[in-house]
Structure 1
Amino acid sequence: MSPFKRGAVGGAIGRLLFPPVCPGCQAAITGVDTVCPACWAKLRFIERPYCEGLGLPFGYDLGAGFLSAAAIADPPPFARLRAAVIYQDLAARLVTALKYGDRTDLVPLMAGWMARSGAELLGDADVVVPVPLHAGRLWRRRFNQSAEIARLLARNADIAFAPLALRRVKPTRSQVGLGSRQRRDNVRGAFRVIDARRQEIDGRHVLLVDDVYTTGATAASATRALKRAGAKDVDVLTFARVAAGME
């Protein structure tokens, strides 16, 4: 039997023994990398119209290239942000399950939605870089959820992947529960591109990948480090983002 046929048979047996279930409620579903209709209704996907800079959804179309008040008042150092869903309800639970529950099986689902929302950014990118964890936190957590998502995005889009280019050199405290100013102070100077990896960034259009965008402090700090290393431009792609007024 050919390797292809063996794989097909093995997959069929696996689906028979372990039928796919919804990652949101564990109900039986017909295929993998999706959710059931009830959980689908709990997700708020971000579609146009939205702020071209920060990806904030608008209630109505304000015209091409329109920026939100937040992007005008405090322009981010990156060029564009895109996120697949609003960070609430099921989306928040999926992020928590991946990050703290070792649910790496969620990566294809999340990366698939991100690839759809960030198709334009992926098309422009020369290299994909995940937001890194500090070495101590990576040792405790065993994997970097952003790197796992970024790895799959880069592979599926056939883009260079540079997981070691950006390093978190400052052991920052968790951003959970911190206000906007505290978050900025917490991650100030936290990232650096080491000289040995500079050629992976210099002159290239970088796509920075993370799981959640809240106040933007982490993305901004990481972007500045990439630009100091010579990045031509930086876009940011996340699975979820906090909606306006929810920071």
Structure 2
Amino acid sequence: MGWRSQLSTSLKEGLSPVVDLVYPPRCPLCGTALASQSGLCSECWSEIEVPGEPACESCQRPMGSAAASKSTCCFACAKEPPIHDGIIAASLYNDASRKLILALKHGGKISLAPLLADLIASRMPPETDNIPLLVPVPLHRWRLWSRGFNQAALLASELAKRGKGELLVDGLVRSKRTPSLGGLGIKERSDALSGAIAAQSGARPVIKGRHVILVDDVLTSGATSNACAKALMDAGAASVRVACFARVADGGISA
């Protein structure tokens, strides 16, 4: 740890009592008093559903034991294999994870990013020799200006702080403004994203030959992650995995 990190840690520790006095720690989901500013209460922790086994090895969608005994991939992935090399999901999309995502993305509670990143990091395998690039799913510039931040970039930055990879925050660009994908079918989602996402020209030399982890807050149908993975592979990425906080099991819900 460098002296800047040590100084930052010391300042945070020194100011914690003051922050706790002015802003008493509360669970971000239910408002229950907590001992510290990070985390959830025990009851809300129990509502976060972590992906279990058996699950599809490609998309981490839960599978019944009978289906898993016949194949390691779900029907959707067997029919149309995803472009990426697998999904790392911290949780399955339910009421609890949805509230956290909406609070971060639309409620402006960016202080939740470290918590969500901690949960994603806990599901990621230890990286050894090949340090991956952490590339966030991009927002169109108009949406970025209106929201003020890219939640995927916040998560990617927090993952980099946790030693999960090298941050490349502007690796991808969304050049075409796309409509909300909620309620659209698979083909309509794919058509809406056609030509919308590409690798930044200046980032291509950095991406070429690297293993990439694409970071997002929630994964629904996989249309956006596939568009991003294709752009990264076109730029020469050796592989692309997707890391997200919540994975929608049926692909039919949008945050």
Tell me the TM-score normalized by structure 2. 0.88
Q: CA deviation at 1:209?
A: 0.4
SS for the counterpart of 1:157 is coil
Aligned counterpart in structure 2 of residue 175 of structure 1, from 162, 176, 181: 181
Alignment of 1:182-193 (within 5 A): 182-193=188-199
Does residue 214 of structure 1 match 2:214? no
Match of 2:105 in 1: 99
Partners of 1:146 and 1:39 lie apart in 2 by 23
CA-to-partner distance for each residue in 1:27-63, whole Å, 9 max, x for gaps? 1122333211221232211133322111112344947
The corresponding residue for 2:39 is 34
Distance 1:7 1:205, change over 3 A: closer
CA separation of 1:227/1:117 partners in 2, compared to 1, >3 Å: closer, same or farther? same
- Counterpart of 2:132 in structure 1 is 126
User: Cα RMSD over matched residues?
Assistant: 2.4
Structure 1: distance between partners of 2:237 and 2:140: 22
Task: Kindly indicate whether the alpha-carbon contact (under 8 Å) linking 2:220 and 2:251 is maintained by their aligned counterparts in 1.
Answer: no
TM-score of the superposed pair, with normalisation by structure 1: 0.90
**Equivalent residue letter for 1:25:** C
Query: Which AA in structure 1 matches 2:26?
Result: V
Letter in 2 for 1:190: A
- 1:97-137 Cα offsets, whole Å, 9 max, x none, are 11111010110110010111223579865210000001111
Q: Which runs of 5+ in 2 are unaligned?
A: 1-6
Counterpart for residue 4 of structure 2: none
Q: What percent identity do the matched residue pairs reach?
A: 36
CA distance in 1, matches of 2:142, 2:58: 33
| CA deviations over 1:154-179 (Å, ceiling 9, x no partner) | 12115211111111111111212322
Query: What SS does structure 2 have at the residue aligned with 1:240?
Result: strand
User: CA deviation digits over 1:40-99, x for unaligned, max 9?
Assistant: 232211133322111112344947x92222221110000111211111101111111111
1:196 and 2:202 correspond: yes
* 119-128 or 151-160, which deviates more: 119-128
Q: Given the alignment of the two structures, is residue 111 of structure 1 paired with residue 141 of structure 2, yes or no? A: no
Matching of residue 46 in structure 1 with residue 60 in structure 2: no
Structure 2: distance between partners of 1:158 and 1:86: 21
1:21 equivalent to 2:21? Answer no
Aligned length in residues = 245
Q: Structure 1, unaligned stretches of length 5 or more?
A: none
Among candidates 42, 58, 72, match of residue 63 of structure 2: 58
What is the distance in 2 between the residues matched to 1:122 and 1:32? 32
Report the 3-state secondary structure (helix = DSSP H, G, I; strand = E; otherwise coil) of the residue aligned with 2:14: helix
Kept in 2, the 8 Å contact 1:223–1:234? The answer is: yes
What displacement does 1:12 show?
2.2
Letter in 2 for 1:77: I
Give SS of 1:177's match. Answer: coil
| One-letter amino acid of the counterpart of residue 21, structure 1 | R
SS at match of 1:129: strand
